[in-house]
Copies of this chain bind each other. A is one copy, B any other.
Amino acid sequence: MRRDNELSPESEADNLRTGETTGIIGYRLRRAQLSVFQLFLAVFEDLKLRPVEYTVLVLIADNPGRKQTEIAEVLGIKRANFVTLVHGLEERNLVERIPSDADKRANALHLTKEGEAFLAHARSVHDRMEQDLVKRLGGQKARKQLLDLLDRLT
C-alpha cells in the first residue's frame, strides 16, 4: 500500500528504497572512506596536502633514510607512481632524496628542516581532525573497535 501524500502533500520526489545497498559492507566502507577523505581535504586545504602525502611525510619522519621503494611498498604505491609524488614534496622543500652511499642506485629519503616544521604543524591539524572523528564515533573505545574490525577485513 502506497501512501505518497502522507508526509509530502505537494508530492515531492519519493525516497528511493536503499535498504539493500546500505547493508553492503563494501559500499558502506567506500562511502565512509570518501567522507573522511573529503574532511581531510577540507581541513588541509590551506596546507595543500593530500592524505597520501601526509602519510608519506609521517612515514619518512618515522623512518628517515629509507629507500623510495620501501616507503612506497608499505603504502601500496607502485614505485613508478611514487616518483611523481616524492618530486612534488621535494619541490616544496619538504623532502630531500640523498643518494645512498651503501647502494648507489637508491635514494635515501629524509625530511628537510622545513619539512619537519611543516609536518609538526600538519600533525597538530591532523590530531584535531582525528579527535573530531573519535568524538563522532563515540569515544576512544569505539575508535579501537572500528580499527579492530577494519583489521579483520584488510
- Chain A residues at the B interface, C-beta cutoff of 8 Å: 13, 16-37, 40, 51, 55, 58-59, 62-63, 66, 70-71, 74-76, 126, 130, 133-134, 136-138, 142-143, 145-147, 149-154
Please give me the residue from chain B that is nearest to A130 by CB atom.
Answer: B25
- Is the pair B153, A149 in contact by a Cβ cutoff of 8 Å? no
Known contacts A28-B150, A31-B154; A21 and B59 CB within 8 A of each other: yes
Give the docked Cα–Cα distance between A74 and B27 (Å): 12
Number of copies: 2
Known contacts A25-B36, A25-B133, A25-B143; A150 and B62 CB within 8 A of each other: no
Question: Nearest Cβ distance between residue A8 and chain B, in whole angstroms?
Answer: 15
Complex partner residue of A33 from B33, B62, B145, CB under 8 angstroms: B33
Known contacts A25-B143, A27-B51; A59 and B133 CB within 8 A of each other: no
